[in-house]
Structure 1
Amino acid sequence: MDIAIATAVIAVAGTLLGAIVAGRAQQRAAAAAAVAATAQDVRRDQLAAIADLAAAVSDHRRTLWIRQRARAEGVSAERLAELGAECFITRAAVTRPLTVLRVLVVDADVRAAVDRMVEVTFAIRETEWTVEAADAARAAAVVADDDFVEAAGRYLASGTAVHRRELP
């Protein structure tokens, strides 16, 4: 009878231990899946931030360039005021995606490319009032934009496009 009880105790203990091990394995798998899903969400948000900023800066660059060419061509003060108002709107549209990108993307190369793109684009406003100067400033801003997109693409392709901090 003692052997029967010992066998039953071992069987029960084995069943309990198996259930505990299986439960822990499920917990770890669920945690790994949650981390992977969160990382995928962050990567998606980073890509959206990059695309949104590139689009907003492109719109602002175009608006600044049109205004500077209009100044050079001597358009009316009323038309310049309209273009100035458009520039204000497109400039304001840069702020949100720039902020989101700075929060989500910590890569130094991407941030340097962002700073350069924004700086060169905003500098269009300060160019001489000649068509040639406006065109040259726009061309420099397009190159800076391309450099930003390339840096962001390298960052996303590198697989390090998610913060290194602990994900929930």
Structure 2
Amino acid sequence: MWGSVIAVLGTLLGSVTAYVLQQRTARTDRADVRRHEERRDRIAAVTALVAALADHRRAMWVREDLRLSGAAEADYQAARAASHNTRSALTAPLTMLAVLAPDLAGVAREAAGATYALRGVEDREVLDLYRRAAIEAADDLVRAAATA
């Protein structure tokens, strides 16, 4: 009889141990999937923001180049409208990045600010200088995201 009790207890203990190990493995797998998804979402947010920054930087350069060269008012107004659209397109990725990666929010705001600084410059030399600074700020964002 004691042999049967020991056998039943051994079977129960084995079942409980297997269940605990299975739950632990499932929890670890879910955590791995969650980390992978968070990383994927952060990469997508950084990518979207960097693309939006490049679009706005390009639109601002064209707009300011037209202004500085004394281009036709219609051409300048069309470029101005395009720059307003690209600036508006920065809002969503900037917000998404601030939510998904708050540790990158500061460097992201700096990159956006460097791009906004292209507006109203005095001459083409300063425009080119600010453009290069905006590119470097976007590159800083990418480097910060890669190390985060």
TM-score normalised to structure 2 length: 0.95
C-alpha distance in 1 between matches for 2:101 and 2:120: 29
Q: Give aligned pairs, total.
A: 148
Aligned pair partner of 2:110 in 113, 116, 140: 116
Unaligned runs of 5+ in 2: none
C-alpha distance in 2 between matches for 1:11 and 1:56: 67
Please report the RMSD computed on the Cα atoms of aligned residues, expressed in angstroms: 1.1
- How much has 1:44 moved relative to structure 2? 0.6
Residue 81 (str. 1) matches residue 77 (str. 2)? yes
Deviations along 1:134-159, whole A, 9 cap, x unmatched? 2122111112112111111121xxxx
C-alpha distance in 1 between matches for 2:10 and 2:45: 52
- How much has 1:126 moved relative to structure 2? 3.0
Q: Superposition pairs for residues 145-156 of structure 1, below 5 Å? A: 145-155=138-148
Aligned pair partner of 2:50 in 35, 41, 54: 54
- Runs of 4+ in structure 1 displaced over 4 angstroms? none
- How much has 1:7 moved relative to structure 2? 0.9
Which residue in 2 is equivalent to 1:30? Answer: 26
The amino acid of 1:126's aligned partner reads G
- How much has 1:111 moved relative to structure 2? 2.7
Structure of greater relative contact order (alpha carbons < 8 Å, 6+ residues apart) = 1
Q: Which structure shows the higher helix fraction?
A: 2
SS in 2 for 1:126: coil
Percent identity of the aligned residues?
39
Deviations along 1:68-120, whole A, 9 cap, x unmatched? 0000011111111111111111111111111111111122xx33321211111
The amino acid of 1:137's aligned partner reads Y
C-alpha distance in 2 between matches for 1:11 and 1:153: 55
Which residue in 1 is equivalent to 2:128? Answer: 135
C-alpha distance in 1 between matches for 2:120 and 2:107: 20
SS in 2 for 1:125: coil
Unaligned runs of 5+ in 1: 156-168
